[in-house]
Structure 1
Amino acid sequence: MTFEGRPNRDAEVVLVGRSNVGKSTLMRELTGHDVTTGKKPGVTRKPNHFDWAPQSFMFTDLPGFGFMTGVEEDHREAIKTDVVRYVEDNADSILAGVLVVDGKAVIDIIDRHSGEGEIPHDVEMFGFLQDVDVQPIVAVNKMDKVDDRDERLNALCERLGLYPPWQQWDDTIAPITAKKGSIEPLNEALRSCFREAKRDDLLQFVK
C-alpha cells in the first residue's frame, strides 16, 4: 500500500478532491475534530484518519490533487497516483467516496480541461469511484457563493454523465457550505449509503 499506517477498519468514508476545495473544513464538520492543514497546497502527503474502534469505522481525508501553485507537476501526479492506489487497495471497505468540489469554480475548471483527449480530474475521479464499486457522493461546497444554484448543479450533473435535474440525484449530489456548518444534504446521502450497506450502527456519525 502506498500510504502507510492505515487503521484496520471494516468500514470507511473517504474524502477526495482538488486542493483548496474545503475538504479539511468538511472533515472537521463531519468528525467534530480540528484538522491541521498545511499552509501551502500540496504539503499534506498522507491521509488524515478519524476512527471509532467499536464500530470499526473511520472517515479519511485524502491529500488534495490537481493544480497547486508552486508544486511541481511530477509531485502533483504522485499525489494523485497515491490517492487512486489507496482507494483501489481499500475499495472493499470504503462505503462512500465523497468527491468535494468548489461549487462556484467547478464548472469552469472542468470546461477548461475538456479538450480533445483530456478528462478533467473531477470527472475522472467520479468515474473512477464508480469503476471500483465505491458509491460516489459529490459534496458541492461553498454554495453560499453561488447565485444560480439550480443551473450550476444541473450543469455539473451533465458533466458527470447524470441526467438533470440534480434533485433526482440527492443520494449523489449534495450542495453544502462546510464553513457555515451547512452539510445536511451530505449527511442525508451518507445515511442512505449506510442503510443500503446495512450499517445502521454508523448512522450516529451523520446526525
Structure 2
Amino acid sequence: MFDTRPNCEAEVVLVGRSNVGKSTLMRELTGHSFDTGKKPGVTRSPNHYDWSAEDFVLTDLPGFGFMSGVEGDRQEDIKTGIVHYLEDNAEKILVAILVVDGKSVIDIIDRHSDGEEIPYDVEMFHFLRELDIPTVVAVNKMDKVDDRDERLNELCDRLGILPPWKQWQETIAPITAKRGQLSALNEAVRTHLHDQQRDDLFKFF
C-alpha cells in the first residue's frame, strides 16, 4: 500500500488526521483532483503527484487517528505505514506539511492529553522533528475561527513551542485550503526549500 512512491530525489509530504483537508490542499497545490469525501479515511494509500523534470514528488499520506467505520487494527496499520514511510524517506523529504483543523485541533489535543498517551498531532509534530524533517503546521479552515491569534498561540503551547505564534512563521501557517488561501503556507515552505538550495521548486508553492 505504501510502496507506490515514484523514484524522485526530492519530496514534500502532507500528513495529518482524517478529514482535516489534506486532499483539498493537495488539489490546490497541484491543480489536480484527488478523491475527497466527507467520510474519514477516503485516502487509504499515498497519493503521489510527481514532476519528473524537477525530480520532485508531492505526496498526500493517508489520514491517521480515529476514523469512524474503520476497524482499530486497520487504523493502526495505516499509522504504522505512515511512520515507516516517513522513516524510510526522511533523507529525501525536504518539507513535511502537518495539516490540522484550526477549528477543532485544540479540543482534540486536550481530549487526548491524559498523561498516558500523547495526542497524534503532537506526537507526529515531534516525530517529524526527530527525523530532522523541516515541518510546517498548516492550520486549515481558519475562515471558521474567530479568535485567530489566541487559537494559534494555544496551538504553539500544545506543540511545545513558545507563543506568540507570529515568531514561528516558518512553522505555523494559517490557511483556508478550500478558498485557496495558502500564502502563509507557501512562504513557510519556500523558507525551508531555500535553506536546502531548492529555490527551483518555488514555482509549486
Provide the C-alpha distance between the structure 1 equivalents of 2:43 and 2:183, rounded to a whole number of angstroms: 27
Deviation at 1:35, TM superposition (A): 1.2
Aligned to 1:175: 174
8 Å CA contact 2:97, 2:136 repeated in 1? yes
Aligned to 2:129: 130
Deviation at 1:44, TM superposition (A): 2.7
Letter in 1 for 2:33: D
Summarize deviations over 1:114-160 as a string: whole Å, max 9, x none.
00221000000000000111011000000000000000000000010
Aligned to 1:166: 165
Provide the C-alpha distance between the structure 2 equivalents of 1:65 and 1:200, rounded to a whole number of angstroms: 31
Aligned length in residues: 205
Aligned to 2:51: 52
Provide the C-alpha distance between the structure 1 equivalents of 2:38 and 2:136, rounded to a whole number of angstroms: 27
Provide the C-alpha distance between the structure 1 equivalents of 2:190 and 2:18, rounded to a whole number of angstroms: 26
Deviation at 1:3, TM superposition (A): 1.1
Change (3 A) 1:38 1:177: closer
Letter in 2 for 1:14: V
TM-score (norm 2): 0.97
Provide the C-alpha distance between the structure 1 equivalents of 2:38 and 2:20, rounded to a whole number of angstroms: 14
Structure 1 unmatched runs, 5+: none
Aligned to 1:203: 202
Aligned to 1:152: 151
Secondary structure of 1:98's partner?
A: strand
Q: Percent identity?
A: 68
**What's the RMSD between the two structures over aligned residues?**
1.1
Structure 2 unmatched runs, 5+: none
Alignment of 1:85 onto 2:84: yes
Provide the C-alpha distance between the structure 1 equivalents of 2:113 and 2:67, rounded to a whole number of angstroms: 19
Letter in 2 for 1:86: Y
